[in-house]
Amino acid sequence: MNKQDWIQKLGLIEHIEGGYFAESHRSTDEIPTPREGTNRAMLTSIYYLLTDDRPLDHLHQNQSDIMHYFHAGDPIRYILVDLAGNLERVTLGLDLARGEVPQLLVPGGYWKAAVLTAGDYGLLGEAVAPGFDYRDMRVATAAEIRAQFPELWTELAPYIKA
């Protein structure tokens, strides 16, 4: 299959962070949170596709934990900044001998970006708990990242949405 096959067969649409996505599950059970709007679905899940023409998942932050699962295609490199400001790079893929991992947990509150560095596409799945809500996500701005992480600015700047 090629990237257009995945987009069509999974009903993917463009995502504001970059790439393409489709929600594949949203729990009907809800849990209370201290967040805006209070209740959230217990769990949500999406398909997420980065392609050679939309290769970047811009730097953003979610309040919920997100488990990322590699499904198909080419590896995707994640750039993570933890709550203490430590930067880490992890490659999601299936070549464990090259240091790739098939799944990756990104705890709530971390800044993250992802990039398809080579190839036509990389297809992922994401499980979010408590479930995803746009009110719980922030896309980074240059001003806030420069202020919060001046020592990481040159490394994070390519991942900021223009």
User: pLDDT (tens digit, 9 = 90+) per residue, 51-110?
Assistant: 999 999 999 999 999 999 999 999 999 999 999 999 999 999 999 999 999 999 999 999
Q: What average pLDDT does range 149-158 have in this prediction?
A: 97
Residue 31's Cα: distance from chain center in Å?
23
Write down how long the chain is: 162
pLDDT above 90 for 162: no
Q: Residue 17's pLDDT band (boundaries 50, 70, 90)? A: confident
Question: What's the mean pLDDT in 13-17?
Answer: 93
Domain spanning 3-30+38-159 has what CATH number?
Answer: 2.60.120.10
What pLDDT is stored for residue 147 in this prediction? 97
